[in-house]
Chain A
Amino acid sequence: AQSVAQPEDQVNVAEGNPLTVKCTYSVSGNPYLFWYVQYPNRGLQFLLKYITGDNLVKGSYGFEAEFNKSQTSFHLKKPSALVSDSALYFCAVNNFNKFYFGSGTKLNVKP
């Protein structure tokens, strides 16, 4: 079965510290990988994607993600967190033109 796992319901980090939001996937083939962010009372906004090429992709707001094929992971990272980064983050996989979303990870960045 195709699935996307975000093992942490919540991640807490102090402002200025690096952050990591984890994502692993289980799909057949070579999927396309995405991260979306959702602010309160808003829809999901595209952050970044991996299609092919360099395993480290850079996206909006200083975020980046590293694709690791052997570990089937696509963790989201940022070197220095901001309070305004606090939101709900979704990992998604597109495989054979179907999207599979994780359950989301709430990121809390404290001043």
Chain B
Amino acid sequence: ETGVTQTPRHLVMGMTNKKSLKCEQHLGHNAMYWYKQSAKKPLELMFVYNFKEQTENNSVPSRFSPECPNSSHLFLHLHTLQPEDSALYLCASSQDPIGRTAAYGYTFGSGTRLTVV
């Protein structure tokens, strides 16, 4: 285990469903991230939270809604998704969002495999 826990590991949902992905870290990190991983494509950064505040939204459709209640928890709320949203969703955290983060890199969770039917 890396210290970043994602649940559920697998999720199948219909296009009209509402579901949430959860990410939890107890590493003392102050920044958390959502990434989308699709086959043969670079990881796509979706959202960045620094000290619970959203600092980046990479033009993500509104059917994805993030929530960060505290520095240890991050959610991704899903509604009315499309089949092309099927992917592995990875959560990551880093120690310091400013300056020193570059040298430390990220700690990733194992991901949630999402299938939209």
B2 CB-CB contact with A under 8 Å: yes
Instruction: Please give me the residue from chain A that is nearest to B43 by CB atom.
Output: A101
* B99 close to A99 (CB less than 8 A): no
**Can you list, as one digit per residue, whether each of A94-111 has a CB less than 8 Å from chain B (1) or not (0)?**
100111111110000000
B45 CB-CB contact with A under 8 Å: yes
Instruction: Please give me the residue from chain B that is nearest to A43 by CB atom.
Output: B108
* B90 close to A44 (CB less than 8 A): yes
Selected from B90, B103, B108, B109, the residue in CB contact (under 8 A) with A51 is: B103
Number of interface residues of A (CB under 8 A): 24
**Can you list, as one digit per residue, whether each of A14-51 has a CB less than 8 Å from chain B (1) or not (0)?**
00000000000000000010101000011111100101
* A99 close to B45 (CB less than 8 A): yes
Chain B proximity of A47: nearest CB distance (Å): 10
* B41 close to A44 (CB less than 8 A): no
* B98 close to A97 (CB less than 8 A): yes
The interface residues of chain A, by DSSP majority, are classed as strand
* B40 close to A104 (CB less than 8 A): yes
B86 CB-CB contact with A under 8 Å: no
* A41 close to B110 (CB less than 8 A): yes
**Can you list, as one digit per residue, whether each of B89-111 has a CB less than 8 Å from chain A (1) or not (0)?**
01010000111011101111111
Chain B proximity of A75: nearest CB distance (Å): 18
Instruction: Please give me the residue from chain A that is nearest to B48 by CB atom.
Output: A98
Q: Closest 5 CB pairs between A and B?
A: A43-B108, A101-B43, A44-B108, A94-B102, A43-B110
User: Besides A44-B106, A92-B105, A97-B98, 7 other CB < 8 A contacts?
Assistant: A4-B42, A41-B113, A44-B108, A46-B106, A51-B103, A97-B99, A99-B106
- B-side residues, CB < 8 A to A, are 2, 4, 6, 9, 40-43, 45, 90, 92, 97-99, 101-103, 105-111, 113
